[in-house]
Amino acid sequence: MSLVNRDLVTVDDLSYGEMEAVFSLADEMSDSMAEQLNTCHGKVMACLFFEPSTRTRLSFEAAMHRLGGSVISVSDARASSVAKGESLADTARIVGSYADIIVIRHPWEGAARVVADYADVPVINAGDGGHQHPTQTLCDLYTLKKERKNIHGLKIALWGDLKYGRTIHSLIFALAKFGADMLFCPSPGLEVPDNIIRKLVAEYGGQVERVTTPERTTSGVPFPLDAVYMTPSSPHQLAMMPDVNIAVRLGKGVDALYVTRPQKERFVTTEEEQGLEGKYPVVDKQLLKGKRFERALVMHPLPRVDELAYDVDADPRSMYFKQAARGVPIRMALIALLLGARESPATVEEDVSAPTPEYPVYQRDYGARCPNPACVSTKESEAKYLKSEFRIVSREPLTLRCVYCEHGFQPEYIASSDWHEGRLDAKRYHRADSYWAKKIRPENLIVFGSVGDAEANGFKPGRHEGKKKARK
């Protein structure tokens, strides 16, 4: 499928084959930098950076200049119309009429989706809160591919802040897509969020195993291993998933150690900050002497703070400056493909990743809103025009996923629009785990975040809903 005029908001927006196409073109462009100056001559890229950045913005801008294109840039939210209260939709529509492509970084999760929905030109997500950062993931995968030829079957340890690191969230899904195994090694309290684990298992196949304390010791892994993701040995064969012994799988050490800094700017509680005091795992020369890391590439999306010691810089396993440097050809390739300035190479392998499931859509003007306080749909300036919208990703337990921030949650109360059509006294709500919940057809489903929410919308407790229970 052609990439022309497409958006890149999450890693799900590119298939395995499309990512390979980007890598292939990046290879070609790396080898012929000086010849790319006409590729996007006359095209204008808008960089809208509403959050601090050096690396990512400069990397995108350098990429566009090396393609012969021009750049218009906002690098500070305070100096823009956002200070006057403008919505993302308006910004998207207007900037989309000035530029041929938009790159957006924003602190709100799902912001890039909104911009993509409203702009008439291709939109690239350069990081939206703690949600995703897909072009960083392309640099990461490209580095793995250049160094190891094949990503399939690699064992990658993800290290540090796995909760707020958007680069981690994008990377997890992409590694699963490429068939890599993952070891989750979070700083205590900064584990991979449940909704990511759920999506990983449900949509990418494979299996996540929690590592219990005794296993942590016997596995011989010298770092705080929390869980392991094992890719299905080949796609679409979940049923054949073998029961694996972690110690055996890890026996030969890891292929890469992907280190991240604590994303303190996204911490919600002061406990998270305090819990970190002196406990954040540090990768240094000493650690890398371990046999398990003998051939481990040391990766980091940068910037680093203290979690990656400078004494590692000279080590040939250090990949982080290469990851950064490769950001230019990767972004050149991506921009050129989305602008249609280059066609996808014909030699791209067939797509082998699992197709995304078609979940039922949930959208109503009332009832539950996304409970993620960082979600774009909850912000005052955006709620004026954005309707809450979810995918029903599971019926048991009933789980909804926000289409903007992809946060998943389990509503407590439900009702059916079918039951009370026209009859006011039939407007009754039930607990989401009750017998009744399973009877409701997706298109009739109404969910409520709380009893108060349900009653505010004129619903009464269902017949089988114990008063005590409902009132709690």
CA distance 298 to 267: 25
For residues 71 and 190, which CB has a smaller minimum distance to a copy of itself in the complex? 71
CA distance 50 to 167: 17
Are β-strands 256-259 and 297-299 bridged in parallel, bridged antiparallel, or unpaired?
parallel
Shortest Cβ 332–a copy of itself spacing (Å): 11
Q: Residue 42, exposed/middle/buried by CB under 10 A (0-12, 13-18, 19+)?
A: exposed
Q: Which parts of this chain interact with a copy of itself (CB under 8 A)?
A: 34, 37, 41-42, 44, 46, 48-49, 52-55, 58-59, 61-62, 65-66, 68, 70-72, 74-76, 78-86, 89-91, 93-95, 97-99, 261, 265, 302-306, 310, 313, 321, 324-325, 327-328, 384-385
For residues 95 and 374, which CB has a smaller minimum distance to a copy of itself in the complex? 95
Shortest Cβ 368–a copy of itself spacing (Å): 22
For residues 71 and 398, which CB has a smaller minimum distance to a copy of itself in the complex? 71
For residues 1 and 98, which CB has a smaller minimum distance to a copy of itself in the complex? 98
Shortest Cβ 439–a copy of itself spacing (Å): 36
Distance between alpha carbon 302 and the CA centroid of its chain, in Å? 17
CA distance 244 to 255: 19
Shortest Cβ 261–a copy of itself spacing (Å): 8
CA distance 30 to 145: 15
For residues 202 and 282, which CB has a smaller minimum distance to a copy of itself in the complex? 282
For residues 82 and 180, which CB has a smaller minimum distance to a copy of itself in the complex? 82
Q: How far is CA 256 from CA 51, 247, 292, 326, in A?
A: 29, 17, 10, 17
Q: Which of 223, 165, 221 is nearest to 192 (CA)?
A: 165
Shortest Cβ 302–a copy of itself spacing (Å): 6
CA distance 74 to 123: 15
For residues 327 and 411, which CB has a smaller minimum distance to a copy of itself in the complex? 327
Taking the CA of residue 42 as centre, how many other CA atoms within 13 Å lie in the half-sphere pointing to its CB?
A: 3
Shortest Cβ 327–a copy of itself spacing (Å): 8
Shortest Cβ 276–a copy of itself spacing (Å): 14
φ, ψ dihedrals at 106, nearest 5°: -155, 145
Q: How far is CA 296 from CA 138, 151, 316, in A?
A: 19, 13, 10
Shortest Cβ 129–a copy of itself spacing (Å): 15
φ, ψ dihedrals at 440, nearest 5°: -80, 130
Computed on alpha carbons and rounded to an integer, the radius of gyration of the chain in Å comes to 23
Shortest Cβ 254–a copy of itself spacing (Å): 24
**Please, are residues 1 and 117 in contact by the beta-carbon 8 Å criterion?**
no
Paired strand residues for 416: 445
CA distance 406 to 404: 6
For residues 67 and 227, which CB has a smaller minimum distance to a copy of itself in the complex? 67
For residues 88 and 437, which CB has a smaller minimum distance to a copy of itself in the complex? 88
For residues 326 and 427, which CB has a smaller minimum distance to a copy of itself in the complex? 326
Shortest Cβ 376–a copy of itself spacing (Å): 15
